[in-house]
Structure formats: structure tokens, C-alpha cells
Structure 1
Amino acid sequence: MLFKEFEAKNNIFMAPIKTALATPKNGLITEQLINYYERKALGGVGTVILEPISVSLSGKEHPKQLMLNSEKHEIKLKELITKLHKYGTKIVVHLNHAGRAANPKIVEDVVAPSPIKCPTTNQLPRELSKSEIRDIINDFKNAALRAQSAGADAIEIQFGHGYLVQQFYSNRLNKRTDEYGENKFLFAEQLLSSIKNSVTIPIFLRISGSEFIDDGISLKDISSIIDLAKKYDVSIIHVGWGNACDSVPWYYNHMSLPIEPMDEILKLIKNMTNIPIISAGRMQKNERYKYLLEKHVIDGVVFGRQLIIDPDFPNKILNHSNDYIRCGSCLQGCLSSVKSGKPINCIANPEVHKTFIPKTNDKKKIAIVGGGPAGIFAGLYLKKKGYDITLFEKNNYLGGQWVMAYNAPGKLSMKDILDDLIRKAEKELKIIKNTTVDDKFFDDKDFDAIVIATGANPFVPSIKGLKKYITGFDFFSGKKVNGNKILVIGGGLIGVEVTEALVNNGKNVTIVELFDEIGRGMELISKKLFSLKYLSKIKVYTNSSVEEIKENNEVFINRNGKIESIGNFDEIIVTAGTKSENSLYNTLSKKIKNVYLVGDALKVGQIFDAVNGALELAEKI
């Protein structure tokens, strides 16, 4: 596949996603990072755009970000490139300086074109001097030279997403009065010219198709970038979305955001230029990439998180197979892990940076009770190990609490993961539904081990006068909510999701939460979106507990030691958490050997915990 001087084995690219797999502080490539990218090459991706490399210490976004400022860095990069070239995979080195988006916890002196605060970090940067601008351009050039020397097939320069280059050409962020303010594209041109005159390998530019904010970059700005791209013979323009400071949900392409605006902007950009266009942003959703390629809106497709959940996705779609797991764009395993300083992960693929144990010749018969995430994944991993698996599920469907997860507002994409997972399970496992298992069920059956994955039940606190209520489980299972004035007891993840749905249906909602904030357990961007959209529309009592419910559902709360009435309510929904359902385990384990607990039945947690627990259990049995 030829892209204007850049040739790859196919038109599938991997996006530059931060992994937190490099060494702390100095940002060296590790063996773990090499293995991570090798797995992507094995899966068939034509081109890997390496995760962002910070060209300067002042431009780093996280402690384990890659650097390329020494011979040692170059040697490790060469090792990675050599390994991936064995698979026919091309490597593009992505260079960036975060500017005002730099992490103030690791960058003492955050700099930018002008001193305008980044809302994400709440950091006010210092204005760059002209000599510092020249130094940063030189840092970009030197990193590009090292990348070329290490064997990189191309260089990608970050020209968008609210980072330094875009900060210079943004009228909103560049308030300088010198030549860099008079000509806001001067820095971009000097940078591009410096790199173009230093290396002979192709150059990509990564831009934001839109920031989706007021006074954000315009199509006129993009046209100016395209003019520069033509002038300096850029090989590919890579279109992403949002920016890292002002429109973070778009930057990470959160699952709740619409797809149509991106497609319309891509069509406009494609009509501006003959330079090949590649683009990222939930391309797997409804096979969106097929439409965009067939209509020649893009020339290549960029997958990011999709290659985290299923690194074999390129080979599968190239061979017209649907035996894949689609990403739901939840950000719970990938972004949340890296933000917390942990290596990148995925709620539905615990093998992101580890390899499952090899297949065994021991043909054990394993029974699994419960068809939620923990049960399904335990079954699939034990089957992968070579065992004979039978899964018993009391309902006429699989999925457990995951079914409720995608019923929450803006989370329908989570159904994609579950649908694919169920399809895989039904293909590989023996599944018996509509079957209730009790302590006598296995008396006449011969299994070598029994895995109990019975999940959790709603926890209902002991509250004086609490008689008529529904739980969050009831709500997402379709139980009707009567009246308009609704009390939600518990403001954790489920409570917030119930509140979103109620407000969307015009209900008047009050949350009473025991702790000092609502939304515990929520992924950070989802939590931010909830705050922006819903907090002004609801009443919230934190550090409070429901003390008593009197006649006509008048509710009294204990707020910081003071009892007060918060009025009467038409309906009460209890979302005060869950408790493990392990009664079957407690009975069976007393009379049968080799009985195991997994998932919420072992310890209440997130889907991520259940899936990782299933892998660990499969390795153990």
C-alpha cells in the first residue's frame, strides 16, 4: 500500500497511545514495551505509530513517557524497530512537546507560547522566550535524526490536540506581540522546515479535525496546515480529535460522543488536499472504517484502543473474519490505568502486556456456575488451557451485570464488547442456560473443579421506615419508576448512572451519599461529563446518610451529625453498593474439593477486576 513515498503492507495503522511501559523519569524503551508492540505486529497491523515521544523534558505528560535524547534511547529504539521489521511492520516515530499540557507534577517549569492556564492540569505556563523556542525546534530536529538513525520508516509531528505546535497557531492561546504572534504559523513552519531539511524519511503531520470548542481551530487553520504540508512534501496527514486541555472527552473519543460530526469534517478535509488522509476515532464502531475507505474519505484507517482489546483485529478483518472483540471506548482499562501510573490495560483483555500460560495436556472437566464477565472469561481461559468446560447460567441470557452496564446513558457501546464476547463463548464453551444450581446439583456429576461466579446482589442498608423501594439492578432491568420526585440512596457508579437516566426522562432527582463525593468508581472522563451535564440539575447531599423514612415518604437524613428533613419523594431507589453472592460456594466447598470463587462472588469490584481475576484463576487451576 503506497502513501506518497510511504509504503506499507496494508492501510491499517496503530495510533500513538501512551502505555506507561517505559522506564520512569528517563523514558527508556523496556523489554515489556517491545513485547507489547511485537504483539501488535503479530496481529497484522501494517504500521505502528509509536506512542508519543517528548522531545524535551519540559514537554512531558507523564513520568513514564518515552524520550529520545541520548544514544542509549536510540539503541533501545533500534532494538524495537528491528524486532517489528521482522513482521513487515513499519514504524513511525511520533514526536511531541506538550506545552501548557505538560504534567506539572513532573515538569517544574511548564512553558507555552503565552501564559494561559490548561484546565486539565490547572497549571499556568510561563511564556517561552525566543531562544527557548529555537531550543525546542532543535530538540525536535535532534529527535528526528535519532529516529532516522535507529531505522524508523517515518516521523510524525504532533501538530494538533492542543499541544505546543497548535498552541502557537491558535488565536485563543497565542497572545504574543512578537513575530510568533504576528504570524501564528511561523513556529509550525520553522519546525517543519528544520525536520524536513534534516531527515530523508517521510514525514506525517497529526492534526485535530476539530477541537469541538468555541474559538477552536477552524477549517481555515487546517487549510493553512495543508499548505505547509504541501510546501514541505508531507506524506500523510493524520486526523484526530479534540485537545488535551479543553476538550478531553473528544481527545480520547469517549463512547458517549456522536460519530457523525467527525465524518462530516473528514469529508471537508479530504476535499482540501490530495495528500493521503488517515484518521482515528472509534473506527471499529459499526464498521465505520469500511464506509470511510469505500467512499475515499480516508486513505488509511488508524486503530488505537481496538488493538489493545484485540491485537489480532487487523488480520481478522483482512481475512473477513468476525471472530473479534470490539472496543467499547469505555477508557476504564487503558486511560484509567495510565493516569494512575500503572501500565496500560483493558477491561476485556488482561493479556495486554502479559502472555497467558501455555496449553496443557491435562484434560480436566470444569464446571462454571454463572455467566457474567467473570464466569465467561474464566471459561474462555480455561478452554484456552485445553480443559473441557461447561457453564451453567440461571437466566436465559449471558452477561450478568454487564447487561445493566450498557443500559446506562451513553454506554451502549459496551454492548459491542459483550455481544462479541458472548458469540465467542457460545462458539467455544458448552453453555446450559435456565439452570439453577444448588448444593445438590453436582452430587451425580463428575467434574474435576467447580468455579463459582455467582456475582453480587444489591446491598440494602437498614433504614428505619424503608419499606417500598427498588434497587439500581431493578431500575436497569426495566422496573418502572413512578412519580416525578425521586430519591437515590447512594451516589456511587450505579447511583450516578441511575440519576443520568432519570434526569434524561425529566425526573427531579436527589442523591444522598455517605462519602464526600459522588461518582466513586467512575472512569474520570465519564465523571467529568456527568458533572458538566447533570450536577446543576440535581440535589446532592454528601457526607450524609438516610436516617428515617416516615409516612408519605418524608425522608430525614443525618448530615454531619444533624438530623434534617429533605422532603417527600414519590419513589426511592437504593444504589448503596453490592455484596458478594457466595452462599453456593460456602455450602459446596464443605463437601467437594477444588471449588473456587471468582469475580464479584469473591470480592466486589469493577469488570476489570473480574476479568483479571478470571485469568489468574485459570492459571491456577
Structure 2
Amino acid sequence: MKHLFSPYEIKDLSLKNRVVMPPMCQYSVTNKDGIATDWHYMHYVSRAIGGAGLIIIEMTDVEPDGRITDFDLGLWSDEQIPALKRIVDACHQYGAKVGIQIAHAGRKAEDAAKPVAPSAIAFDENSKTPRELSTDEVKDMVEKFRLAVGRAVQAGVDVIELHGAHGYLIHQFHSSYTNKRTDEYGRDLTKFGREVIEAAKGEMPESMPLIMRISAREYVDGGYGLNESIEFSREYQRAGVDMFHISAGGEGPIAAAGRPGTHVAYQVPMARAIKEALQVPVIAVGRLDEPALANSVIGNEEADLVAVGRGMLRNPYWTLEAATVLRKEIDVPQQYIAGFPRN
């Protein structure tokens, strides 16, 4: 029977267990240059030592003005590759596989002098009004995603995740709430996302899977729901997405902020619905910190992988602890064996 510590394979990605560390922004770049620091190294490598099967490095942006803040990671320059490669190589040393989330914040780029977006609509009354991208600029943006993915591959990652959730640029394009364009990228809301997917696939080995994170629902009046997200995910699947990472919100409140996600496993039904509708592998996320609960999501075949965010922020060794609680076999670092007694 499948469980949280069953191995998992998709294409050439082989995971020792089904525990994922999801991307969580650290806002810890020190010189505003987008280059990973010693903090990022310790942050990710400690979770590899702690037993996670897959670590997805935080939102990493395709251009300087694509960052949420000036303290976010970037991959718009070859100079940013070595620090990421150092992290990836170290995580591999401890048995974890590594992905990276490639993104652009669009209208939610807080520190950009003038954010860009599909349409000139501010996120809220406290946000800057973005400049609408021209058609040619949209095409240039696809190229920026392509180049960033290529750099990630050079850094040695095992999987790419495109950020199409939480109200950032790809999300802004496929939502009729934020995309009011009249050109080809407005008439076809998934065109930008599909072109980014195709560009990414062109930089990736054929054996490397592509993940896309989506918001399955927008918690805002006039936003889309599950039926719509199933349909745009179908288009993205046809374009080349191999697995979806199912979150919610972003235009309006992000569910992780506690509105409306006030109960455990609140996003799992959406993950299960997309998995069943598209017959596609999915990652479930959202208040799954309790080991027995995370294990049940796999055992009940509601998702293929489980992402544990805040639980891993609290405890880098969450995965080792979960294996102890669930009485599952896991390789514990020799130096830590005394701390994880076997039952």
C-alpha cells in the first residue's frame, strides 16, 4: 500500500519518499543581486539532511523587476548560477532531489518602480498600478522564462516548477479577473502560460519533469473556481506539464494566510479533483503538517506527493520525525540516530 515513505518516480526523477519541501520565499538576498547566500544554503541543505525527498527552491525570478521584493532570488544572470549549484550539489549529497520555482511577480512586484502586468490594474489600494505589457514585451517575457530555466538546468536541478499560482504573472494572464487584454494574449487566456511551458521544455532534458503550481480557486468576487482551473490546467498539460502543484488564492487573499484556509487539508479536495479529471500526478499542499494526515493523503490516493511548508519551517527534520511517528523506515544520518529511536 502506498504511504508517505513509499518511493516515487516520474520520468527520470526518482524520489526516496513523497515528502516535498514547497517553495517558500526567504527574502534573504543581501545585496539585492538575486544571488543565493549562506542563509539559503543552510536553509535548504538542512532539510535535505532532515530527510525530505524533494526540495523546491523558493520563487526565483526571471528579471530584477519580476521579484516580489529586491531581496528575492533571481536567475536573470549567469552570475547567479554558482550559488544555486552549490546548494543543489549539497542537497544531492544527502539524498534529496531538488527543484526550483521559476517565476515573475507581475503586478505584485512590490519594489519595482513600475510593475508590469497583462493589464493596468493594481492588486489593491495599497499597490502600484502596473504598466500593461505590449504584445512584443509579452513575447520577450517568454524568452526571459526560457533563459532562466536554462540557467536552472545548468545549476543541476532535477525538476523545474513554473509558478502559475498566487496571483503572480502566469496566474494574472490566465485569470479573466486580471487579464483584460484585447490582443492574442487576452483572447486566449492560456496562451502566455502555454508559451512559457513550451519554452521551458525546450531548455529541459526530455527526461526531466515539469511541474506547474496553480491556484485552483481565486478567493475573490469575480474570480475563477475549480471548473475553470481544471480547464486551463488541461491546456497546460497538453503543452507539456507533467505534474501540478495545487494551491489556491492570490487574487484577493492567499489561502495560506489563513483566509479561508482555516482547517487542515482544505486544499486536498482540489488536488484530488484535478488529479482525477486530468489523470495527472499532483502535489497536495496546505496545512498537512500532521504526519498521520499527510500519510493518509498518499494512502487514500488523493495526491502523489505531499508538500509540508510551515511544518518544515518549524522543524528542518520534520521528515525524520514523521517517519518515527509513523513507524516507517528511513535513513537517519549516523550522527542523529540517537535522537530518532526506532520502535
TM-score category (smaller protein): 0.7 to 0.9
Which residues of 2 match residues 20-59 of structure 1 at below 5 A?
20-59=27-66
Q: Which residue of 1 aligns with 2:202?
A: 197
- Conserved in 2, the CA contact under 8 Å of 1:3 and 1:235? no
Higher mean Cα deviation, 297-306 or 277-286?
277-286
Tell me, yes or no, if structure 1 residue 240 matches structure 2 residue 273. no
Q: TM-score, normalised by structure 2?
A: 0.87
The letter for the 2-side match of 1:247 is: P
- Structure 1 segment 252-401 matched on structure 2, within 5 A: 252-253=257-258, 257-259=262-264, 261-285=266-290, 287-320=292-325
Does the Cα contact within 8 Å between 2:35 and 2:80 map onto a contact in 1?
yes
Q: CA deviation at 1:235?
A: 2.5
For the Cα contact (< 8 Å) 1:4–1:275, is it kept in 2? no
User: How far does residue 158 in structure 1 lie from its aligned partner after superposition?
Assistant: 0.6
Partner of 1:84: 91
Shift of 1:175: 0.8
Question: 3-state DSSP class of the match of 1:51?
Answer: strand
Question: 1:318 is paired with a residue of what secondary structure?
Answer: helix
In structure 2, runs of 5+ residues without a counterpart are: 1-6, 328-338
Q: CA deviation at 1:302?
A: 0.1
Deviation at 1:224, TM superposition (A): 2.7
Matched residues in 1 for 2:160 and 2:28: separation?
21
Query: Which of 106, 119, 124 is residue 99 of structure 1 equivalent to?
Result: 106
Q: Does 1:165 align with 2:167?
A: no
Counterpart for residue 500 of structure 1: none
In structure 2, distance between residues paired with 1:254 and 1:37: 28
Structure with greater helix share of residues:
2
Q: Matched residue of 1:257: which SS?
A: coil
Per-residue CA deviations over 1:312-360 (Å, capped at 9, x if unaligned) read 11012123369xxxxxxxxxxxxxxxxxxxxxxxxxxxxxxxxxxxxxx
Query: 8 Å contact 1:211–1:217 — kept in the other structure?
Result: yes
Q: 1:19 aligns with which of 7, 13, 26?
A: 26
> Which has the larger Rg?
1
The alpha-carbon deviation at position 192 of structure 1 amounts to: 0.8
- Structure-1 residue corresponding to 2:113: 108
CA distance in 2 between counterparts of 1:279 and 1:50 reads 17
Matching of residue 10 in structure 1 with residue 17 in structure 2: yes
Is this contact kept in 2: 1:96–1:158, CA < 8 A? yes
Q: CA RMSD in A?
A: 2.1
Q: Aligned with 2:203: secondary structure?
A: coil
Instruction: Mark the runs of 5 or more structure 1 residues left unpaired by the alignment.
Output: 323-383, 385-621
CA shift, 1:261, in A, is: 4.7
Task: Provide Cα deviations, 1:108-143, integer angstroms capped at 9, x if missing partner.
Answer: 121100111112742211110112111211111001
Return the letter of the residue paired with 1:89: A
Alignment of 1:494-533 (within 5 A): none
Specify the code of the residue in structure 1 equivalent to 2:249.
G
CA distance in structure 1 between the partners assigned to 2:203 and 2:148 by the alignment:
11
The answer as to whether partners of 1:3 and 1:276 remain within 8 angstroms in 2 is: no
Task: Tell me how far apart the structure 1 counterparts of residues 266 and 75 of structure 2 sit (CA, whole Å).
Answer: 36
Give aligned pairs, total: 319
Mean Cα deviation higher: 151-160 or 233-242: 233-242
TM-score normalised to the size of structure 1? 0.49
Larger RCO (CA within 8 A; separation ≥ 6): 2
Contact kept, 8 Å, 2:107 with 2:130, in 1: the verdict is yes
SS of the equivalent of 2:277 reads coil
- Mapped contact 1:13–1:47 kept (Cα < 8 A): yes
Q: Does 1:219 align with 2:226?
A: yes
Seen in structure 2, the aligned counterparts of structure 1 residues 211 and 3 have a Cα distance that, compared at 3 Å, is farther
Structure 1 segments of 4+ aligned residues over 6 angstroms from their partners: none
In 1, the alpha carbon distance for the partners of 2:325 and 2:76 equals 42
For residue 206 of structure 1, the aligned residue among 201, 213, 216 is 213
Q: Report the alpha carbon displacement of residue 255 of structure 1 after superposing the two structures with TM.
A: 9.1
The correspondence of residues 505-584 of structure 1 with structure 2, limited to 5 A, is none
**CA deviation after TM superposition for structure 1 residue 23, in Å:** 2.5
